Amino acid sequence: IFSNALDITRAECCKKGSAYQNVWMYVIHEMEDAINDCVADDLTTNDAAVVAWDEAVAFYTGSLVGTTGTGSGNLLYTLAQKRCANFGTCTGDNDGNDFEGTAAVNEKVFNFFDQGIVELQIGECQDVIKIKDNIVDQMTIPLIQGVMRYLYWADPAGGNGGNKAHAELWAFAAAILPRISLCDTGAASILRSNAYILNTPMGQNSRATVKAAIESTYTCLGITCDDIGGLFVEGSSSNYYPSMQPCSENDGPSQTIAGYQPNSDVSEHASIDLDQGDLMDCLSESDDPDFACAYNAYSLGGNSLKSSGIVRTIKGFSTSAATKMAGEPFYGIYRTYWGDAAYADSFTSAACQGTGDYANVPDIVRVECCQKGAPYQNVWMYVIHEMEDAIGDCKSSDLTDNDSGVVAWDEAVAFYTGSLEGVDGKGDGNLLYSLADKRCANFGTCTGDVGSSNSQSGRAAVNERIIDLFRDGSVKLHNGDCGEVEKVKNAIVDQMTIPLVQGTLRYLYKADPKGANEGNKARAELWAFSAAVLPRIAECDSGVASMLRENSYIGKDPMKDGYVAVKEALETTYSCLGFMCSDVGGIIDGGAGNYISGMEPCEDAPVVQESSGSDDLPQYALALIIVFLILFCLGVCGTAYFFRSSRNYKAKFDHFKESGAMDMKTNDV
């Protein structure tokens, strides 16, 4: 990978690879060798083991740091000293200056080395294994600090340190990636894709996302947020570089959610997707779906506990809505449309239990509506409720302490995403995040991965926007900007609506006898998606909602107006729903790679750019007016000049005529 690299890239990776990979691992080897010598020797004579242990110390430190450790070395001891000055972790000498002196890492490592010698000399070989592991954990800290330092400096949106910083980022990342991968392959993947020397630094994710992914592995790595610290602005002892503050064991869980770092432990909330997974497993046998099992997973749960110890259920999201969601605008729209306070449960329970509209339908219809009603109606609205709850908490709290609002906001993220997506959002989930990724593959809107040219795989643009909005909302809640969070919430709801519309469009075509004509399964999926979005559409245009309902309702013949006509009607509501044609895309034929006839993307109306003042004319209009005025003035001036010149000419002509000059005849030449 260095065959065409710049000299500075090769230089940084050459000198850092030598010390932070070759020597780093050989220090561990010498400790392992010491332990093996200890086990193999007579327990009263462990000189060989002590020799190997001393060699580990020698390779860790080198000869240049001197007897006091204050010399200018170039191996692992020196790295710890350098990084502690950047991260305020030079606390090994207890002198009150966190930016100079002995690194806390070196103080701990040498204490462990001292303990190891004692244990080896008395033959306590097994105890030395624990000491070795502790040393490795401490040796990992400066590598992590190096990665963190160059996450900022290599980031074009951060320190923008160019090729040198990018090379240093990759050198540190390569040294630590195997340990991170052993803890969490997703976190390792995020780091590698953003640090790799042949990729654009932070080209896939923001540095905040990469930092959060690494931090999620600290417990597994045997270190803490305090061990690492935060990257201080050079020359400052109080200010951190943007997004490079220390993490906190007290404020956050051990794992990020699809790139979002919660400020509270919402792992139990996220586990609601395990109930959805159980529900789907119960219905997975197409010949014999177990509806009783599915309904139990939906109504009784078992995987997600409230802080009170009571089991949280997907059904409860809807049956508690009349009390919990009273006064919330989006819930009000849905409740009014359906005329039912527990509309989501009414839909899902009827499908799971075979009552009402589902009393005499094929099993496949019940399967699809049961397993789609739960996440796309129950969970969908509860995500919005948690955001509303966060805003309410923000408004009722002291503006200097909005922790309660942030907790509810984190819970919204947990319910949107679930526990199965992993730290990078590339897992196999089953809630709303997963739906967006599925639909983007059908509609060519998988553009959430920076630098990827494949719009049919990877992260949905919807998910990229929503996670960014969730982060923005969290910051605003921390700052007490409650009114601004309201705008963020509305933007998230608009984005959450896009996959529901995409699902509706997909099954308009599949359910239409003149389209794909895929029968009862497609009809059921059409109704499940339509029911989830109908209230919002009706709020924009009751006529369009009526048309969609008539064509998708499970109790009627499907698509009497044809998929093209219904699609075009739906498209008229996009602006009201808060998104554009390009956000939705068109249905792509999986085999040919082209849009299905009649299901192409619609065209967005041209956007007229206006000046910052709401009452001002558009800039292009002002330019035209100015040009017109200039031409008008030139015309007036030209006309005046013409008439003046004409009068002067006439006066001269009259004078010439009166002088008799016109009677003179020219002589022949």
**CA 272/CA 294 separation, integer angstroms:** 14
pLDDT at residue 307, rounded to an integer: 80
Distance of CA 44 to the CA centre of its chain: 58
**Is the confidence at residue 669, as pLDDT, over 80?**
no
**CA 463/CA 276 separation, integer angstroms:** 20
One DSSP character per residue, 209-254 reads HHHHHHHTTHHHHT--HHHH---BPTT-SS-BPTT-----TTTS-S
pLDDT at residue 621, rounded to an integer: 53
**Is the confidence at residue 550, as pLDDT, over 90?**
yes
pLDDT at residue 608, rounded to an integer: 47
3-state secondary structure of 391: helix
Residue-wise pLDDT for 121-167, tens only, equals: 888 888 899 899 999 999 999 999 999 999 999 999 889 999 999 99
Mean pLDDT of 419-440: 92
Residue-wise pLDDT for 62-85, tens only, equals: 999 888 888 888 999 999 999 999
What's the length of the chain? 669
**Top-confidence range, 212-221, 265-274, 576-585:** 576-585
Burial pattern 438-471, b for ≥16 Cβ within 10 A else e, equals bbbbbbbbbbbbeeeeebbebbbbbbbbbbbbbb
pLDDT at residue 612, rounded to an integer: 36
Lowest mean pLDDT among 38-42, 215-219, 386-390, 395-399: 395-399
Mean pLDDT of 454-462: 86
Contact predicate 559/513, CB 8 Å: yes
Say if residue 527 is exposed, middle or buried (CB neighbours under 10 Å; 0-12, 13-18, 19+): buried
Residue-wise pLDDT for 466-494, tens only, equals: 999 999 998 888 888 999 999 999 999 99
Distance between start and end Cα atoms, the chain: 93
How far is residue 123 from each of residues 32, 35, 44, 50, 134, measured CA to CA in Å?
Answer: 14, 10, 7, 10, 19
**Residue 657 or residue 142, greater confidence:** 142
Contact predicate 432/383, CB 8 Å: yes
**Is the confidence at residue 244, as pLDDT, over 80?**
yes
The model's confidence at residue 86, banded by pLDDT at 50, 70 and 90, is very high
The model's confidence at residue 406, banded by pLDDT at 50, 70 and 90, is confident
**Is the confidence at residue 665, as pLDDT, over 50?**
no
Residue-wise pLDDT for 600-622, tens only, equals: 999 987 754 443 333 444 455 55
Angle between the N-to-C axes of helices 125-154 and 76-87, in degrees from 0 to 180, rounded to the nearest 10 = 50
pTM of the complete model beyond 0.75: no
pLDDT at residue 579, rounded to an integer: 98
Neighbours of 522 (CB within 10 A): 22
The model's confidence at residue 451, banded by pLDDT at 50, 70 and 90, is low
pLDDT at residue 389, rounded to an integer: 95
pLDDT at residue 611, rounded to an integer: 37
**Is the confidence at residue 259, as pLDDT, over 90?**
no
Contact predicate 240/231, CB 8 Å: yes
pLDDT at residue 596, rounded to an integer: 96
Mean pLDDT of 623-646: 58
Question: Half-sphere exposure of 325 toward its Cβ, with a 13 Å CA cutoff?
Answer: 27
Lowest mean pLDDT among 217-226, 253-262, 333-342, 485-494: 253-262
Quote the tokens at residue 374: 């739960």
Quote the tokens at residue 58: 């020698």
pLDDT at residue 653, rounded to an integer: 42
The model's confidence at residue 591, banded by pLDDT at 50, 70 and 90, is low
pLDDT at residue 465, rounded to an integer: 96
The chain-wide mean pLDDT, for the chain, equals 87
372, 534, 386: which is closest to 438 by C-alpha?
Answer: 372
For residue 113, the one-letter residue type is F
pLDDT at residue 452, rounded to an integer: 55
**Is the confidence at residue 218, as pLDDT, over 60?**
yes
Alpha helices (H) along 480-580 = 482-511, 519-540, 542-552, 563-571, 574-577
Burial pattern 36-51, b for ≥16 Cβ within 10 A else e, equals ebbeebeeeebebbbe
Neighbours of 226 (CB within 10 A): 14
**Top-confidence range, 78-82, 90-94, 628-632:** 78-82
Residue-wise pLDDT for 283-303, tens only, equals: 999 889 999 999 999 999 988
**Is the confidence at residue 281, as pLDDT, over 70?**
yes
- Angle 438-440-445 from CA coordinates, rounded to 5°: 165
pLDDT at residue 666, rounded to an integer: 37
Contact predicate 101/92, CB 8 Å: yes
pLDDT at residue 617, rounded to an integer: 45
Mean pLDDT of 257-265: 87
The model's confidence at residue 636, banded by pLDDT at 50, 70 and 90, is low
